[in-house]
Amino acid sequence: MIRSFCLVLILMLVGCSSTPAPEPDPLPVGSTEPAPPPPRRVYIGDVSTKVFHREGCPECESIDLSNQRLFETPGEALDGDYSRCPVCEPLRGW
């Protein structure tokens, strides 16, 4: 009984190994992967308070979607008389 069980097991193993998984292509040594494009920065303005934020600022979560206005650059927001958020400081670093 055990012997036949072993035989079945061996047959299963052989059956599995007869279809080997394709080898993943080895990464060429010394090649540099192309840098991903920089993420597009978006600034979120609060229409009701006239304050704009960096995307991801925790303050943005409390802005109603209907009050959100998107800017592609801080200058755009400043031109629209929006002021910087003191929490995320959208102009810091640029």
Does position 55 interact with Zn ion (CB under 5 A)? The reply is no
Does position 59 interact with Zn ion (CB under 5 A)? The reply is yes
Does position 53 interact with Zn ion (CB under 5 A)? The reply is yes
CA dihedral 86→89→91→94, nearest 10 degrees, is: 150
Q: Report d(CA 57, CA 78) in Å as an integer.
A: 18
Helix (H) or strand (E) holding 6, with range, is helix 2-17
Does position 77 interact with Zn ion (CB under 5 A)? The reply is no
Of 33 and 64, CB closest to Zn ion: 64
Which residues contribute to the site for Zn ion (CB under 5 A)? 53, 57, 59, 85, 87-88
